[in-house]
Structure 1
């Protein structure tokens, strides 16, 4: 049936993002450790770690009732410190590897069968490299803090368990659906309906408000780190934006059946009082005060939310750039001039972007292509109005409050949740 035919377009048209900068200290991967593994049980956490008698091969292990085939054969990590595995084998005696769900700079995510709980879970296996292990332990700490205070409705992914296995921190999560970015990508970057954007935005801000109440800053909010709870979708006719006569099922686009989301990746989350000197967040979603070296706090998350909402209703990232001055110029093109008091206070690393009290643009541009990339951008209100039929006015006003340059003027998450975009009776439109 024609309705069932959908063209899968998997080409990522966005520029490759630079890996998150929060853990960019130089660090060598530790050598893979041969030897026995002992089992340490602390509460509901099981730790698998090298034993002191490392002269014996782990295949001879018999500990706490684990049979020799309880774990997979021991293998060296790959050259980047990733855990090497085969589908169908065990990850400890409890989890059976079913499929690979994804990979990132941190490591890999595997879909596994949990024999104890009789359910599929997602296990994040962190690279055996110190900086990623350190980040993973921060993430475990944050997840446990969130879980302690979360009464089930705050939209943060739930940690099931964690353990240290063959020099890899493994974090066990509930299994969720695809990320918003993956959903957009498979839809050929076609936008979400405005009512779905509203529901996703509400949940995202609820999560951010919850974290900020606990004095936590996520620092890396982006569509890749927001997962739909279920993978189910429906296909609806969509002719908007198709310049050529489409083939097969590309007349249709996918719409998630459920708007329920959960936020993931708390590896660079920080407490309010912690040292705030390193650059955080993926570039497209990075706030101006971070680029200018003016410090950062809760409003950085709010800026990211504003960028995400525009991306969901337009289908493409608001600021697609790889360079700081171009990024700031894009902001001025879309939002308007940057306050002079922020430019004058630019930190030492950002002084080169400012000249005579204003942004050094286009004089400081790296290329003509860079100038063209900025010039082709639309003003924020025009961009939203191109893609949103009803509620455009409310959304524009909300996003303008989320994307205020001065972080002290930016809406808080709780203030944003009270905005008419969320509170107005949309049933009467």
Structure 2
């Protein structure tokens, strides 16, 4: 992805990092100060300035920084009360800002609901441990995992992807997570490789970062929900949305896992729609007529109107209505040692996920029963390890124990 990678992977769902003037007042135990410096433990934007060795809530000793999001900082810590039993945790420290606090409380509510419905921790959503207030920051304590899928792709499959057996293992786990979300009536609304964590053995993944999650049902229509490359067309067009928006995002992740490349790298929503149509053909007119934002991208005759700078340079406009869709298949190459039948099933799975009409898109139940996921039955208990193949590709080697 070259020198632009750090730029094109930015999340336009969040916009600019928050720089706001605090007002005095309280919000359920949160004391917001008038002091613009937030004393000396916050920076000017409300991020907590932690230091290594600091102990939070009396028993979480910070051991390392783990990243900085738009509205939070994540640190690794050791639970001093845990003894030898899984003492490592991740702590998400929410910015000291009223709206961010409210958003963090909603995330806590989502995590509590998901965890209470998964007592045995088998549904591949990050395990929530607790939350607490520390120096006016809401802190979320979560299980600590090794790396995210973006890092896995860069380290083990940059530009070439992972072995198909690894993709199948990860696919099934993602669909189990989607099934859990649906059972709990929750939309994740920001599934992407960065928000999927894997364990140290890289044989198990979990969905994380539920800061954008919404209850299933009637929600506000907005064209910037979900990070752009993983954004379903119904979001861009301004249509009602449900669990199918998360299925589209998962499909984008699976393609990226196998190929090492982003499927829809559009620079704008307009550019995204063009890429969608290049792959799957024109949108159903019935779908376009119902979109709240259709007129931003289509004329009164429902012909595509290119406003994206790159598309304008290419003189792309009404011609797209006559473009023959390529489909997913031609974009996926076969590599030595791949099972042709499994690869064919993978292509079929993606074709069924990338259906423009969300009402006709593959459901999570259908995904879990798809031949690519079920494969051949194997006796015994399956285990998996990430192993290297000739040519730099990696796969999850399965064996019976």
Return the TM-score normalized by structure 2.
0.80
Deviations 1:126-163 (A, max 9, x none): 11122221221111001111111103210011111101
Task: Specify the alignment match of 1:249 in structure 2.
Answer: none
Task: Specify the alignment match of 1:40 in structure 2.
Answer: none
Residue 212 of structure 1: how far off its partner (Å): 0.4
Task: Specify the alignment match of 2:72 in structure 1.
Answer: 107
Is structure 2 residue 22 aligned with structure 1 residue 30?
A: yes
- Alignment equivalent of 1:142, drawn from 110, 113, 116: 110
Is structure 2 residue 147 aligned with structure 1 residue 178?
A: yes
Structure 1 or 2, whichever has the larger Rg, is: 1
Is structure 2 residue 255 aligned with structure 1 residue 304?
A: no
d(CA) in 1 for partners of 2:198 and 2:183?
24
d(CA) in 2 for partners of 1:136 and 1:89?
22
Name the CA shift for 1:51/1:283 in 2 (closer, same or farther; >3 Å): closer
Q: Does structure 1 retain, via aligned residues, the 8 Å contact 2:104–2:138? A: yes
Task: Specify the alignment match of 1:411 in structure 2.
Answer: 362
Is structure 2 residue 8 aligned with structure 1 residue 16?
A: yes
- Alignment equivalent of 2:329, drawn from 371, 381, 391: 381
SS at match of 1:289: helix
d(CA) in 1 for partners of 2:377 and 2:348?
16
Q: Does structure 2 retain, via aligned residues, the 8 Å contact 1:29–1:81? A: no
- Counting only pairs closer than 5 Å after superposition, residues 214-253 of structure 1 correspond to structure 2 as 214-230=184-200
Q: Which runs of 5+ in 1 are unaligned?
A: 1-8, 34-46, 55-73, 231-256
Name the CA shift for 1:264/1:101 in 2 (closer, same or farther; >3 Å): same
Return the TM-score normalized by structure 1.
0.75
Task: Specify the alignment match of 2:63 in structure 1.
Answer: 98
Residue 269 of structure 1: how far off its partner (Å): 1.0
Is structure 2 residue 274 aligned with structure 1 residue 329?
A: yes
Name the CA shift for 1:229/1:344 in 2 (closer, same or farther; >3 Å): same
* TM-align CA RMSD: 3.2
d(CA) in 1 for partners of 2:280 and 2:67?
35
Task: Specify the alignment match of 1:42 in structure 2.
Answer: none
Name the CA shift for 1:142/1:274 in 2 (closer, same or farther; >3 Å): farther
Name the CA shift for 1:168/1:147 in 2 (closer, same or farther; >3 Å): same
Greater than 4 Å deviation, 4+ residue runs: 9-12, 22-27, 47-52, 372-375
Q: Does structure 1 retain, via aligned residues, the 8 Å contact 2:55–2:62? A: yes
| More displaced stretch, 104-113 vs 366-375 | 366-375
| More displaced stretch, 165-174 vs 349-358 | 349-358
* Higher RCO (CA 8 Å, separation ≥ 6 residues): 1
SS at match of 2:359: coil
Q: Does structure 1 retain, via aligned residues, the 8 Å contact 2:14–2:70? A: no
Residue 21 of structure 1: how far off its partner (Å): 2.9
Q: Does structure 1 retain, via aligned residues, the 8 Å contact 2:192–2:249? A: yes
Task: Specify the alignment match of 1:352 in structure 2.
Answer: 296
Q: Which runs of 5+ in 2 are unaligned?
A: 379-401
d(CA) in 1 for partners of 2:313 and 2:258?
25
Is structure 2 residue 174 aligned with structure 1 residue 213?
A: no
Deviations 1:250-274 (A, max 9, x none): xxxxxxx432001101111111135
- Alignment equivalent of 1:133, drawn from 74, 90, 101: 101
Name the CA shift for 1:153/1:387 in 2 (closer, same or farther; >3 Å): same
d(CA) in 2 for partners of 1:301 and 1:227?
16
d(CA) in 2 for partners of 1:92 and 1:10?
42
Task: Specify the alignment match of 2:46 in structure 1.
Answer: 81
Is structure 2 residue 331 aligned with structure 1 residue 366?
A: no
Q: Does structure 2 retain, via aligned residues, the 8 Å contact 1:48–1:165? A: no
Q: Does structure 2 retain, via aligned residues, the 8 Å contact 1:202–1:417? A: yes
The alignment covers a number of residue pairs equal to 358
d(CA) in 1 for partners of 2:140 and 2:246?
24
Name the CA shift for 1:401/1:32 in 2 (closer, same or farther; >3 Å): same
Residue 12 of structure 1: how far off its partner (Å): 6.4
